[in-house]
Structures are given as structure tokens and as C-alpha cells.
Amino acid sequence: MPRKINIRFGTDGVRGLANDALTTEIALAIGRAAVMVLDAEKVVIGRDTRRSGPMLEHAVAAGACSEGANVELLGVVPTPLVAHAAGNDVGIMISASHNPYADNGIKIFGPGGAKLTDAQQQEIESVSSELLNSGSNPGPTGVDVGEITTDETAIESYLTEIESALQGRTLTGTRLVVDCANGSNSEIAPRLFKQLHSRIDAIGVEPDGVNINDNCGSTSPAALAARVVATGADMGIAFDGDADRLIAVDHEGKIVDGDQILAICAKDLAERSMLADQCVVVTVMSNLGFFQAMEQAGIKVIQTAVGDRYVLEELNAGGYSLGGEQSGHIIFRDLSPTGDGLLAAVILVDAVIRSGRTLAECAADAMVRLPQVLRNVVVKEPSAAVEFLQGAVKRAEEELAGTGRVLVRASGTEPKVRLMVEAVDEEHAAKIVSELEAELARLQD
């Protein structure tokens, strides 16, 4: 008897080993279900540079067309470009973001580039699982079958929209090193920075289908940092595989993470009376130093669960203008419906130029980052492991006595528990993380 397949969305869509956990049959079913649930007449589809991308792209497109929707293929583009190009239609991105090349994923945007609600995700899960398990389910025929076309204008429209955020300013004279992770931004980011008159040195721009995120990009910034120092650049920017997030490095090669970028941008917007309700939205993973800096600046902070979709929900609900994650998802809600690494990079560089200081000075002034130790531990049942650790977490919090923080959570995309401890010194934080890890080892035995 065939095994029953149940499709489950993680923090950001469906993700897994391509042609194994994520097959063409699953992709086709999701394409069909997205059209059915979202009542889509048109679907725009983009992908990153993974070898499995075209295979899954065509499967999703076939599924959408089989339910009567027309499809526009965007080719290799950043995830935020898909959200931008969706307009009043549905957007689908084929990407596993920062994961290794053998993985892939499917992210779905509703009309306006909006992240799906929990209810919409659950319905697509249910419908696509039913399609997979129930066998043949004929759709429209004849002229009612959807058509597939390509869109040659989406990239130019997207870049023009980003340029408009500078209100006529350029990035003239800035010396940048940009690491595109051999992913979605490999052609687009260098093109934009050149248009904005930066002196650009691009690395991670030779995708071959298997080198995306491979010792490059925002998850592996060592090569970027070394190149910045070696060339005497003003700063460096690194994107992840699908370019919806970034990190930066200063002229000394030191990392400037998402919290620091958010702090720089929040203070800059507040000083120009452009920060809605003097508020910024972040996840529970943000560094304690960020919260302290915002309090000192008179900026309110709202916390959400981990995941940029939760940040975006809060931004929309409160009408706020800025939010993001320590990992580098930065959302300028007035300018983009989702996290956008390239947009955030341009705004960050512009803010540094206008300050008349270096990125290092801007980051130091924006916040003082408390030592934070992060560790990912592979487990069989992440949710059960988190529950098991609650006693150990309580003891650790009592030990810190208000001078730090402990956060333990199940990954939304992998079979892992994520451990995070902040303390006055890194040695103390590392000690507590090791103790928590030892507790998990007891559970696994």
C-alpha cells in the first residue's frame, strides 16, 4: 500500500532534500493547491541557482496551469523580487534560502506579495496532501488550461523601485565588496550598485548549480571579511542564497549583524521623523543590547516569534515601518512587502554615507552587543526536546539573575533545537549553552 504523504509548511514554506523529501509530485500538488486555495488567475514563479530549481519550477508551473492559472516565469531572481512582481496575483519562489544546494523549497506569496496566514498555509497543506493521496483529479481542459510565459521586465522594475528609496541620492565613491553567495543576487546586485556609482568588487557571483551558499554568503562571511580588509574597501555586504537577507562587515572585517543594521536604520529613521510610531519590530532572538539601545533612544520595541512572517504580521497590524531579525531579514514595510537584502543593503550604505562616519562607528554608536552564544543541536523530536529542557532553562535564568537571557526553541525548518544564551561575558554564556547541550544528550541516549 503506498505511503500516505502529508505536506507540512515550516517557518517559511516547504523545504527539504530535492527529489527526496521535496519531489516533483509534491511541487506539482502545491502548485495546484495554491491556485485552488488562493483563487489565483495568475502565478509568477522565481527560483535561485540550485540545480534542482528548474525541475521544481516546471513542476509548480504545471500544477498551476493544470488548475487554469496562467504562469509567468521570472527565472533566477531574489525572493523579494517575486513578492514585488506578484502584484495582485500569487507569487511562488523555488529556494531553500541559506540551506546547502541539495535542498530546495517552495515559498508562496499571496496578492500584494503578502506572506500567507497560518489558515492559508494549513489549507494549502491539506489540499495538496489530498491531491497527492487521492490519485487523479481532472482539472480544466481546452482553452481553460493555463499558459506559461516569461517576464523580461520584472528585474528592471524591481531595481527601479529600490533606487527610488534613495530619493535621488546615489552611493557615489563608496568602495564595496559584495558577496552574492553564488545565488539569486549574482547578477542583480552588482548591476544595481554599479548603477548607483559604487566602486564594486563582487564575489560569489559564479553559480554552477551546486556552489550556492558554499563557504560564501551571509552564513559564511569569512571570505568577504578577508576581501574587504585586503582591498581596503569601506565595507562589505553578504546576501544569502535567495537574497532576502544580508549581513555586513566593516572596514576592519568585523561582522555587523541584523540587530546592528536594524539599530542603525531605526535611529536614522527616527532622527528624520520617518520611523512610524517610534517603533521597531524584532523577534525574541534579537540581542539584549538591541533592546537596551532602543530604550535609550526612546524607540519602542515589539517582539514576535522567530520568522520574518511574524515580524511582517506585527508590522502590518500596527502600521509600523521597520522590523527584522538578527539573521539579517530586514523589512522596510513602506517600501517592500517582505524582507529584502538588496533594498536593506542600499539603505544601510546610504545611511552610513550621510552620517559621514564609517560603518564601524555607526554600528558602535547604534548599540553595544552583549556576548551571545548560539548552538544548533540535531534531535529527533525538537518540540519534545524543548519541553524537556524547561527545568534546565529555569536554573540557567536563576544563575544569570537578570544579567542575561536564555532562549531555547525548535527549528521551523530542520530537525534541530536552537540554543541561545546571552551573558555579560562570552565564557559564562558558553558554559550555560554547554550545560543545556549536555541535557539534550541525556535525552538522546
Q: Catalytic annotation on 218? A: no
Ranges in the chain annotated CATH 3.30.310.50 = 372-444
How does strand 42-47 pair with strand 70-76?
parallel
pLDDT value of residue 10 = 77
pLDDT value of residue 357 = 97
138: Cβ contacts below 8 Å, ≥ 6 apart: none
DSSP 22: B
Element of type H or E holding 295: helix 288-297
Query: pLDDT 10s per residue in the chain (445 long)?
Result: 456 777 888 777 899 999 999 999 999 999 999 999 999 999 999 999 999 999 999 999 999 999 999 999 999 999 999 999 999 999 999 999 999 999 999 999 999 898 888 899 999 999 999 999 887 678 899 999 999 999 989 999 999 999 999 999 999 999 999 999 999 999 999 999 999 999 999 999 999 999 999 999 999 999 999 999 999 999 999 999 999 999 999 999 999 999 999 999 999 999 999 999 999 999 998 999 999 999 999 999 999 988 888 999 999 999 999 999 999 999 999 999 999 999 999 999 999 999 999 999 999 999 999 998 999 999 888 999 999 999 999 999 999 988 889 999 998 767 899 999 999 899 999 999 999 999 888 887 6
Cβ distance 198 to 174 under 8 Å?
yes
Question: Residue 221 CB: number of other CB atoms within 10 A?
Answer: 22
Q: Does domain 164-366 have CATH number 3.40.30.10?
A: no
CATH architecture of 372-444: 2-Layer Sandwich (3.30)
The DSSP line for 122-146 is HHHHHHHHHHHHH-------GGGS-
pLDDT value of residue 401 = 87
46: Cβ contacts below 8 Å, ≥ 6 apart: 74, 75, 76, 77, 78, 79, 81, 82, 85, 91, 92, 93, 94, 184
Superfamily of domain 14-155: Alpha-D-Glucose-1,6-Bisphosphate, subunit A, domain 3 (3.40.120.10)
User: What order do you get walking across the sheet with 279-283 strand by strand?
Assistant: 300-304, 279-283, 322-324, 330-332
Q: Is 151 helix (H, G, I), strand (E, B) or coil?
A: coil
Cβ distance 259 to 280 under 8 Å?
no
CA 248-169-225 angle, to 5 degrees, is 15
Strand partners, 282: 303, 324
Element of type H or E holding 399: helix 390-400
Q: Give me the count of residues in the chain.
A: 445
- Separation between Cα atoms, residue 40 and residue 127, nearest integer Å: 15
pTM above 0.75, yes or no: yes
DSSP 273: T
- Separation between Cα atoms, residue 32 and residue 66, nearest integer Å: 7
- Separation between Cα atoms, residue 45 and residue 62, nearest integer Å: 11
Q: Which of 95, 97, 184, 198 is catalytic?
A: 97
User: Which is nearest to 46 in space by CA: 9, 72, 14?
Assistant: 72
Number of H helices, E strands in the chain: 15, 19
- Separation between Cα atoms, residue 331 and residue 308, nearest integer Å: 8
Ranges in the chain annotated CATH 3.40.120.10 = 14-155, 164-366
